[in-house]
Amino acid sequence: MWISILRLLLLLLHILEVVIGASWEQRPKDVSAAVGSIVTLTCKVTGDPGFVTWNKNGNTLAVGTSIVSGDKSRITIPVASKFNLQISDVQKSDDDDYTCNIENIQPDSQKAVTVHLTVLVIPGPPSITINDTRPQKVENDVVSLTCSSLGGNPPPEFTWTKNGLVLNSNKVETKVPKGLSSSQLTVHLDYSDHLASYSCSVKNSVNQDNPFSTSTQISVLYHPRITFKPYKELSLELGSAGSLEM
C-alpha cells in the first residue's frame, strides 16, 4: 500500500513539474577558453525541461544528450550534467554563439539563452622590419621600426625596449587589423643608437607570463665627438716627460 502511495506521489510530482515547467538552476554565460583546452557551456534547470536543444550560430548542434552535428569526437553532453555542453580540444572554429533552448520553461523565465564562446589564441612570434634598407644610417635620420605578429586573440600587446629600457609609449603606434597586428616605433637617430639593441615583445592573456620577443640593431654613422675632462694641473721637473689627456 505504501509503495502504491509513493508511486502516486511521484507521478503527481512529475505532472506538477510538467504543468509548472522547469526553472533555471544555472543559466549559460559567456566563457573563454584557450586552443586545445576543455570548456563547458552550462545549461542547468530544475524540473522537467521537456525538449532541450543546443544551437551553434542558429544551427542545431544537440538534441537532449545527443550531438546531431559538428565534431562528435570533441563535443558531448554528459548525461549527469543536466544538458551542459562540453567541448574538448578547443579549436579556433569553435569561437561562436551558442544557444540553449528549453521547451518546457516557467512562463516568467527566458526560454532560450545565447552565449558566446571566445577562443583564446596565442600570438605568433614577432618580427622587426626597418623602412630604411640602407646597411648604414646617418645621424639625424628618422627611421621607422615595425614589429609584426600574426594571429592572437585577444590581439597582442606590444612592448619596445632599447638596451633593456622600456621606451615611452608616445613613440609607438599600434595597429590591429584582422589577423596581423603591428606596432611602429619612430626613431630620430643619434650616436647613442649605433648598434643599440631594439627589442619588441608581444603577449596576450594566453602567454602573458612568457611573452615572445625579438631584437635588431642599427648601424649609425655619426660625427666625431670631443669630450673635455675637468682641468687638472700638471707639474713637471725640468727635463722630464709628461702627457696631456683630451
- The predicted pLDDT at position 246 comes to 57
Ranges of residues in the chain with a pLDDT under 70 are 1-23, 49, 105-110, 169-178, 228-232, 234, 242-246
| C-beta atoms surrounding 56 within 10 Å | 18
CATH architecture type of domain 127-221? Sandwich (2.60)
- The predicted pLDDT at position 9 comes to 41
Structural class in CATH, domain 20-120 = mainly beta
For the entire predicted model, the pTM comes to: 0.70
| C-beta atoms surrounding 181 within 10 Å | 24
- The predicted pLDDT at position 4 comes to 52
Where exactly are the structural domains of the chain?
20-120, 127-221
| Separation of alpha carbons 29 and 133, rounded Å | 51
- The predicted pLDDT at position 8 comes to 42
Q: Where are the alpha helices (DSSP H) in 55-165?
A: none
Average pLDDT along the chain: 82
- The predicted pLDDT at position 119 comes to 96
- pLDDT tens sequence across 206-218: 999 999 999 999 9
Same fold, 20-120 and 127-221: yes
- The predicted pLDDT at position 177 comes to 62
